[in-house]
Structure 1
Amino acid sequence: MRIGRRALLLGAATAGATLARPSTPRLAITGEESVVRRLVAAERRIRVPSGDGPEVAAWTFADEPLPVIRLRQGERLQARLENRLPEPISIHWHGIRVPNAMDGVPYLTQEPVMSGQGFDYDFVPPDTGTFFFHTHCNTIEQLSRGLAGVLIVEGDEVVPHDAELVLVLRDWRIDAAGAFTPFTSDAAAAKAGTFGRLRTVNDRVAPVLDVPAGGDVRLRILNVDATRIAELGVEGAEAAVIATDGNGLPPLPLTSWRLGPAMRLDLTLRAPGPGQEAVLYDYFAPEPVPLARLRGTGPARPDRPFAPAALRPSDFAEPDLARADKLRLTFQTSAIASEIVLKDGQVLRLADNLCLSAATHWAIDRRSWPEQGHQALPPPLFELVQGRSYVIELVNATQYQHPIHLHGLTFQVLDPRQGAVGQRADTVLLGPRDRTRIAFVADTPGDWMLHCHIIEHQETGMMGWFRIT
């Protein structure tokens, strides 16, 4: 078992308890180390909240409800997926710039993994950071049943933190007895989506987590919920944003940060003193919701200025903005008025009705997928040339928020988002009647998906794909 200098605290079962980092098998293959994992998707009875809640018939990839895979930069991941569920599944490695055949999108990059079958995922993640993996079949139900995990690629810290917390935000759509409640409805899918009754961090409700008093703690926060948007802030401690979607940026003092589904946020937090607490809140609610409490333990570290260190950047090709080709994508409802006026006064004139089925609520550039099912592949939204730079303007012509995710790429956000300019991401949150521009180099060939990560929006039309050749 490889143990670093930092303590890994993942979802303390009780105040002060910790989960040790599990042993990770490694094989030397052609001069490089490989991390080998067997992911068996199956129904498992777990307690939600963890430890003291009712039993839930969850779907998970491993016996631990939320498996965490850790790699060092340059290591290969060899993950064997086995499907013991009654329906097809796949694994999408969210935010990882994988070879196209490893991206895990049924019918676009691979055949779905049928019940009783398996699939081997094999790749070397090129970037460090905080990522996750999840099913990409019947996603609204399978993800809500628990079919997700965390993937961390280490090697970006110049100055080590004193401790680390992995904090996974997700709703459980269950009743008081542990039975699942409806995952979706037409009314919810056409609006903001379906929310779960039970909000958890690491499958616990407002857990109390021990941190070294006065130490600098890295918080890896992942929103893996299918629907919920959070506005994160910390009270009782200083904190700074050091990475978005796993990509380092110059440390930015945290006031609050809006985190949509599939987005990740890394913070450096100065832990409170012995016996004192800091609280992670969600302010995107009528009243602030405490998500987790961080309690200082042990002797206090010496008093010193709070000066978070920047992370070591990943090696991304810089887009040539002066020569970049310009594109535009408009995210809209499937039946909309002929004119929409955006905040900046621009008028969009679009078709009154796209003649779509009753189950289709959303569209990208007046096109919806999967109107006739995922396997009925529509034409690509656009085609790109490998090695060329692009700037895409993303326009939200609706009154709802949309976290837009591009597979296969890490892009630069050109317009200010929550106080940061130029942050790198794989998912960007568009507010109502909002727009932003993203830039990237089309560096990996293949057919890549693009969609809203409010999964009910994705599954009712707001998804498409593009090609890099």
Structure 2
Amino acid sequence: MLTRRAAIAGLGVGLVAPALLSLPRRPAARPLLTPPVAGAPALHDVTLEAKARSVKLLGKDGPESTLWTYGDELFPVLRLKRGDRLRATLKNSLGEHTSIHWHGVRVPNDMDGVQYVTQKPVEPGESFTYDFSLPDTGTFFFHPHCNETGQVGHGLLGVVIVAGDESEAFDDEAVIIAKDWRLAEDGSFLPFSTDSGAARAGTFGTLRTVNGVKRFARKVPAAADIRLRLLNLDATRMMDVGVEGAEARIIAIDGNPVEAMPLDSWRMGAASRLDLVLRTPKAGGKVRLRDYFPTEIFDLAELEAEGPDRRAEPFDPAPLYASRVPEPDLAGAETQPFVFGAASDAIASFIDTLDPDDPLSKVILDDLCTASRTFWAINKRSWPNDGHRNLPPPLARLKSGKSYRFTLQNATPHPHPIHLHGHTFKVLGSSKRKLPVHYADTVLVLPKERIEIAFVAAAGKWMFHCHILEHLETGMMGYFANA
């Protein structure tokens, strides 16, 4: 995959894109290990109150912004172990109904948190308790699944870390949460969605933060192996992630362990996660985690080493224990195609060519698009613009326990991070990029790209959608009814 970072590097040494794309991926030095038998599971009782709270996102001397959060901490982090039971009570203190979807966690269908599909809405003043066990280790997150642009836009997000995949302990760990905000100078929120943005690559934020601050920095132990858990929780943004100042390896994608891969850069769509391990420099040295995708490179984190050296041996981190995800039978899998494209109505057919700054375009957008906010489709079928209340027919009816092989084809000029609820699928390959075979719950499908995935179907009604939030709300969403 030719990323911006690779292209910049190529200018210095005379590389060209075809040569770069033909390079084989370096094999991992060691295989993944078999996970040990888990100990006695623990019960974790937590209360998550969705409520308006004041936070100074624009700096300590700036105005306050009214966010919606699950607690006093901006992004609460729930830490559990594989096999543990989570009993999370959602208390709704907002002025509208909400729910919690546990992104990437293979929960029972009635715990998936989709209003009108898997549960009744949690109305203002009501509570609902999610109760399930954690079958997999990894880095996951949770968020609402109705009015996502508004509720996630206000800050309703949290992280779930399920431990138990480390064969040897790392020296330190950092959770890095990337999220933009649509804020005016006075701290108030701008519209979370615009028709011109929804019909293209999304409406971008005006303030970019990591862990809720403009510049995220922290101290780390010197000459140490540290784990970085990076979550792209933005509603729209795509990132090309790389590390400078240290050798780094990818050890998990969407929380699922992989054979350690040297990191040049890795492209992340919205809702994707990436676990890295890196060897920090000696005391005083700095490491930068960077996003090379925007015109101006953005530093996601600056890590400064301090203290005595922790390790003297060459950098060779121990492998993670493998996930226990059901393995699809590729030979016997049923193949189904899914094409992500524009909606078939006349508005969607020309909306992408409009200039939002042109006065005539503004009239067209205001007069025609606000009445029918349907721009996208899956297999030429758009999710109805009245929300989840009136369910359309399913995209397909799958059989529980059967293996399926999906071809995901992007027929649009914009990227789409595609998420399947309740399943961890195997990414088999791409028509445009040299992707390693790996497990994920969200896969970025670039313009004119075809991605192949495979999985074992689980029983229930499972949502299938683009995770650019404006795209799912304007048509690019469906579900599977699995018996």
Q: What TM-score do you get using the length of structure 2 for normalisation? A: 0.85
Residue 356 of structure 1 and its aligned partner are, at CA, apart by 12
**Aligned residue among 90, 110, 115 for 2:99:** 90
State yes or no: 1:373 paired with 2:387.
yes
Whether the 8 Å CA contact 2:195–2:370 is kept in 1: the answer is no
Structure 1 residues 156-165 or 369-378, which shifts more? 369-378
State yes or no: 1:200 paired with 2:215.
no
Give per-residue Cα distances to partners, 1:204-245, cap 9 Å, x unaligned. 112111110110010000011111111111111110000000
Whether the 8 Å CA contact 2:81–2:134 is kept in 1: the answer is no
Aligned to 1:305, the other structure's residue is in SS state coil
Whether the 8 Å CA contact 1:49–1:200 is kept in 2: the answer is no
Residue 307 of structure 1 and its aligned partner are, at CA, apart by 1.0
Aligned to 1:457, the other structure's residue is in SS state helix
Whether the 8 Å CA contact 2:58–2:187 is kept in 1: the answer is no
| Matches for 1:374-413 after TM superposition, within 5 Å | 374-413=388-427
Give per-residue Cα distances to partners, 1:144-171, cap 9 Å, x unaligned. 1000000010000001100000000000
State yes or no: 1:423 paired with 2:432.
no
Whether the 8 Å CA contact 1:234–1:280 is kept in 2: the answer is yes
Alpha-carbon distance in structure 1 between the residues aligned to 2:451 and 2:441: 14
* RMSD, aligned CA: 1.9
Identity %: 52
Alpha-carbon distance in structure 2 between the residues aligned to 1:334 and 1:359: 10
Aligned to 1:141, the other structure's residue is in SS state helix
Residue 421 of structure 1 and its aligned partner are, at CA, apart by 2.2
State yes or no: 1:138 paired with 2:152.
no
Q: Structure 1 residues 303, 242: closer, same or farther in 2, change over 3 A?
A: same
Whether the 8 Å CA contact 2:113–2:119 is kept in 1: the answer is yes
Which residue identity does 2:396 align to in structure 1? F
How many residue pairs align between the two structures?
A: 423
- Residue ranges of structure 2 left out of the alignment (5+ in a row): 1-39, 350-368
Alpha-carbon distance in structure 2 between the residues aligned to 1:330 and 1:234: 34
Q: Which residue of 1 aligns with 2:186?
A: 177
- Residue ranges of structure 1 left out of the alignment (5+ in a row): 1-30, 340-354
| Matches for 1:51-66 after TM superposition, within 5 Å | 51=60, 53-66=62-75
Whether the 8 Å CA contact 2:58–2:64 is kept in 1: the answer is no
Residue 287 of structure 1 and its aligned partner are, at CA, apart by 2.3
**Aligned residue among 317, 322, 330 for 2:331:** 322
Alpha-carbon distance in structure 1 between the residues aligned to 2:370 and 2:476: 13
Whether the 8 Å CA contact 2:199–2:471 is kept in 1: the answer is yes
Q: Which residue of 1 aligns with 2:452?
A: 437
- Greater fraction helix: 2
Residue 72 of structure 1 and its aligned partner are, at CA, apart by 1.1
Q: What TM-score do you get using the length of structure 1 for normalisation? A: 0.87
Q: Which residue of 2 aligns with 1:301?
A: 310
Q: Which residue of 1 aligns with 2:238?
A: 229
Residue 191 of structure 1 and its aligned partner are, at CA, apart by 0.3
**Aligned residue among 228, 237, 243 for 2:252:** 243
Structure 1 residues 68-77 or 31-40, which shifts more? 31-40
Residue 176 of structure 1 and its aligned partner are, at CA, apart by 2.3
Which residue identity does 2:476 align to in structure 1? M
Alpha-carbon distance in structure 1 between the residues aligned to 2:371 and 2:333: 37
| Matches for 1:252-263 after TM superposition, within 5 Å | 252-263=261-272
Residue 32 of structure 1 and its aligned partner are, at CA, apart by 4.0
Which residue identity does 2:411 align to in structure 1? A
Residue 53 of structure 1 and its aligned partner are, at CA, apart by 4.2
